[in-house]
Structure 1
Amino acid sequence: MLKHWLSALFGARSEQSGAESLDAAFPPEVLVIPHDDHHGRFVGKLPNGEGVFITTPFTCGSKPQDSREFLALYRFSSAGDLLEARIESLGSRADLVGARNAAALPGNVAADNPTVQSRIEVWLRQLPGLVLGDIVAKPFRVHQHGLDFGLIPDSQEDCEADEAFDPVYVTLLPGNYMAFMAPWDGSYDT
């Protein structure tokens, strides 16, 4: 019923950025990760058609030294299958930007950090021929550094015991800084 309602509301989308069929089904078989000036700055395709997404996941702790920052490179087949998840720990937020700044800054602080930017540049040099642009990816989950990373669909486990399960998002975790939604065309909440 929900699938029918979402399909009627959003309609089906045909080929976009290599996606065979983008529609409102949940979880989606494939979704678009857009190249943009915000969280999708390092999204593109290699000459062989593989998709690449370099991003900066994070966790939030009650104290800046408990918050952790990461750098992730995800590589996908042209059909959106995960081929590689290279995830480096950058340490605590306090280590990265100093305790005073870490206490004041919400959200993702690694993205504009000069140390992180130089590491991203190293990774970009290892990807000759990368052309920035939208890519497709299938939801995935990998466990590294004691955490789940990936494009993870909403699940009943995310709800409180008394909450109704209403799946809406496939969320980039950890950090919940890109929450993709139907019709899976690259639209996301931050």
Structure 2
Amino acid sequence: MSLPEVIPIAHKPGYRTGTIGGYDGGQFLAMVTGAYRHEDEHRRELMRWYGVMHLFDHAGIHESSEIRFLGAGQFNEVRLDPEPLRTLLDALPGRRYGDIAIKPFRVDFDGVVFGLIDESGDHGSSNWAELYPARLGFHAPWNGEYDT
């Protein structure tokens, strides 16, 4: 089965896709996620943490991204303030949590790739899309479930 035009992502409350859904203007994908910068391939620096809000139209086309640096360090060592993400979510009119379906997209910010990237062919013969930097992998049967 080939990569679909829009890729479903299942809403899983209390887990990595707990803050996705729809709003009056389309769809949103929000999360706090950690990443290393591209140039730090040997992991010399501390993990960097970001509050991320991607917005999509109703057809799943990426419209904008708001990415905020929250701090650096190991997850259990950094006091991550959830307020920036909460503020972004609260600003969405008609926000409702639920499943979404979006097209692949890419945003580069602070030396880190953010987006849903088509990585077909990178995983043997299967088609694959990866959500970065959270590293959630989507594949057939394209039902919104993901591998970590």
Name the TM-score, length of structure 2 as normaliser.
0.82
CA deviation profile, 1:39-83 (whole Å, cap 9, x unmatched): 1111111124x00110123225746x5211111101111111001
Q: Distance in 2 between matches of 1:152 and 1:146?
A: 16
Aligned to 1:44: 21
Q: In the alignment, is the contact (CA less than 8 A) between 1:82 and 1:137 conserved in 2?
A: yes
Which of the two has greater strand per residue? 2
Match of 2:138 among 180, 186, 189: 180
Q: Percent identity?
A: 30
Shift of 1:175: 3.4
Runs of 4+ in 1 over 6 A off after TM superposition: none
The residue type paired with residue 81 of structure 1 is I
Match of 2:105 among 127, 137, 140: 140
CA RMSD of aligned residues (A): 2.3
Which of the two has greater helix per residue? 1
Aligned to 1:82: 62
Q: Distance in 2 between matches of 1:42 and 1:175?
A: 13
The residue type paired with residue 115 of structure 1 is D
The residue type paired with residue 90 of structure 2 is R
Between the two structures, name the one with larger relative contact order (CA 8 Å, sep ≥ 6): 2
Q: In the alignment, is the contact (CA less than 8 A) between 1:154 and 1:167 conserved in 2?
A: no
* Number of aligned residue pairs: 142
Q: Distance in 2 between matches of 1:180 and 1:154?
A: 10
What is the DSSP-based 3-state SS (H/G/I as helix, E as strand, rest coil) of the residue aligned with 2:81? helix
Q: Which runs of 5+ in 2 are unaligned?
A: 37-41
What is the DSSP-based 3-state SS (H/G/I as helix, E as strand, rest coil) of the residue aligned with 1:57? strand
Q: Distance in 2 between matches of 1:62 and 1:171?
A: 21
Pairing 1:19-30 to 2, within 5 Å after superposition: 24-26=1-3, 28-30=4-6
State the structure with more CA Rg.
Answer: 1
Q: In the alignment, is the contact (CA less than 8 A) between 2:61 and 2:102 conserved in 1?
A: yes
Shift of 1:153: 1.7
Shift of 1:86: 1.1
CA deviation profile, 1:4-29 (whole Å, cap 9, x unmatched): xxxxxxxxxxxxxxxxxxxx313x21
Aligned to 1:115: 81
Q: In the alignment, is the contact (CA less than 8 A) between 2:108 and 2:114 conserved in 1?
A: yes
Q: Distance in 1 between matches of 2:118 and 2:10?
A: 18
Q: Which runs of 5+ in 1 are unaligned?
A: 1-23, 103-112, 160-164
Q: Distance in 2 between matches of 1:74 and 1:179?
A: 17
What is the DSSP-based 3-state SS (H/G/I as helix, E as strand, rest coil) of the residue aligned with 2:24? coil
